[in-house]
Amino acid sequence: MSGTSADGVSAVLVEISGSGLRTEFRILAYETYPYPPEIRRMIFELFNPSRGSVDKVCFMNFVLGELFARAAIRVTESAGYTMEEVDLIGSHGQTVYHIPQVRGVDGVRTRSTLQVGEPSVIAERTGVLTIADFRPRDVAAGGEGAPITAYVDYLIFRSDSVSRAIQNIGGIANVTFIPRGASIDDIVAFDTGPGNMLIDAVVQHLTSGEMMYDEDGVMASRGMVSEELLSWLMEHPFVKRRPPKTTGREDFGEHFAMRVVEKAERMGVHGNDLVATVTAFTARSIAHNYREFLEPICKVDEVVVGGGGALNRCLMRMLKEELRGVKVSTHEDYGIPAQAKEPLAMAILANEAVSGNFNNVPTATGARKRVVMGKILLPS
């Protein structure tokens, strides 16, 4: 899969046995294959409605299909396996636009979402049964199509004695809350706000594109948080919106990042101080959502952090400070590398789909009912 940061294609080779609550897995290999600069530039054009023309969407859909297929082949061969030994491929694709709010035209009202990375290309190049395009089925059932990993989080992290918040920090930050002893209908999942997206955009602006992200949180750790700017950021309406809620570049992308930069300049917040402040925004918005929407359900005993944000030491320190008294661990503590979690989730969702199991969570997405997400493409 490729997340909202669009760094590259993350792939995992995983051995899965069983399905549903009997699911067991073993990660055999994982890797992220960075996008070449020109392809990444073209992907980011797709995110902008004024630049992402329909011919570009059409072309990049097939380009990314080729790259996804190559990633599947490379990660498989890196572990000493052949594609003939692979039973199925699960592919999320690259989200280019997500409209969680209902819109209407000529009497038709609907939400919508669009992922590219043509799965027909993946099936054709690999010769493997491919399950892809998970989100639209949930949207068709009245949901927002996100977050879609809540079901997988439940399978992996449910507990009879511990209430866990599974916090992914990718481009966007999202949480799955699993109260102790919960059934699938008891879990709550939603986007909390920006993850790395705003941090990355600010770093790229400050370094004129020489740095794509704040590695290890070094820039943020050298700066001072501006409480004035942070307070302004915390007024963003999405942070305070009640779940179910999802977001993306439409709220926290390039346009918003430039607003933040301009606001910071007027406040006299520059350089590392700005990076520190937007990093603190991610941490504080997560904590705010916990206090407002999770704690009223029951106490959060443990937070398990995954995604690229788990590798940002300054962000992790800030999050622990915001969540004093709560155990904060990472996916690595449970044997799941941070960069492997999201593609692992796609593999498990695909396994559930071919098993005929419902794999969405209506309490998370707002769907009217449980459905089987994923389109199935047979190998040739």
pLDDT at 333 over 90: yes
**Rounded-to-integer distance, Cα 228 and Cα 264, Å:** 10
pLDDT at residue 124, rounded to an integer:
98
Q: What is the DSSP-derived secondary structure letter of residue 194?
A: E
- Contact (CB, 8 A) for 155 and 359: no
Strand, helix or coil for residue 11: strand
pLDDT in tens, 155-178: 999 999 999 999 999 999 999 999
pLDDT at 5 over 90: no
- Contact (CB, 8 A) for 258 and 207: no
Average pLDDT, rounded, for the chain: 96
In this prediction, residue 343 has a pLDDT band, given cuts at 50, 70 and 90, of very high
pLDDT at residue 89, rounded to an integer:
99
Residues whose CB falls within 8 Å of the CB of residue 203, separated by 6 or more in sequence, listed in order: 211, 212, 213, 214, 219, 275
pLDDT at residue 303, rounded to an integer:
99
pLDDT at residue 339, rounded to an integer:
85
CA 341 from chain center: how many Å?
10
Architecture of domain 8-146+339-377: 2-Layer Sandwich (3.30)
Reference 154, options 138, 176, 170, 134; nearest CA is 176
* Element containing residue 111 per DSSP (H, E): strand 108-116
pLDDT in tens, 271-324: 999 999 999 999 999 999 999 999 999 999 999 999 999 999 999 999 999 999
CATH topology identical between 8-146+339-377 and 150-335: yes
Mean predicted confidence (pLDDT) in 64-77: 99
pLDDT in tens, 236-269: 999 999 998 999 888 999 899 999 999 999 999 9
**Rounded-to-integer distance, Cα 18 and Cα 20, Å:** 7
pLDDT in tens, 88-120: 999 999 999 999 899 999 999 999 999 999 999
Q: Give the whole-number percent of the chain exceeding pLDDT 70.
A: 100
Placement of tokens 């926290």 in the chain = 252
The class level of CATH for 150-335 reads alpha beta
pLDDT in tens, 368-380: 999 999 999 999 8
- Helices 271-289 and 313-322, packing angle to 10 deg: 40
In this prediction, residue 121 has a pLDDT band, given cuts at 50, 70 and 90, of very high
> Rounded to a whole number, what is the distance in angstroms from the first to the last CA of the chain?
22
pLDDT at residue 155, rounded to an integer:
98
Reference 351, options 15, 28, 8, 32; nearest CA is 15
pLDDT at 152 over 90: yes
Segments of the chain assigned E as strands: 8-17, 24-34, 89-91, 94-105, 108-116, 130-132, 164-169, 172-178, 188-194, 302-306, 327-330, 375-377
pLDDT at residue 338, rounded to an integer:
85
Radius of gyration of the chain (CA): 20
**Rounded-to-integer distance, Cα 105 and Cα 289, Å:** 33
Reference 202, options 194, 216, 213; nearest CA is 213
Strands across the sheet with 164-169, in order?
188-194, 172-178, 164-169, 302-306, 327-330
* Element containing residue 69 per DSSP (H, E): helix 54-78
Paired tokens of 85: 């030994």
Q: Give the whole-number percent of the chain exceeding pLDDT 90.
A: 94
With helix as H, strand as E and coil as C, how does 294-327 read?
A: HCCCCCCCEEEEECHHHHCHHHHHHHHHHCCCCE
Give the torsion through C-alpha atoms of 60, 61, 66, 69, to 10 deg. 140
Q: What is the DSSP-derived secondary structure letter of residue 241?
A: S
pLDDT at 57 over 90: yes
pLDDT at 226 over 90: yes
pLDDT at residue 325, rounded to an integer:
92
pLDDT at residue 20, rounded to an integer:
97
Can you give the residue ranges of every domain in the chain?
8-146+339-377, 150-335
- Helices 197-206 and 254-267, packing angle to 10 deg: 60
In this prediction, residue 59 has a pLDDT band, given cuts at 50, 70 and 90, of very high
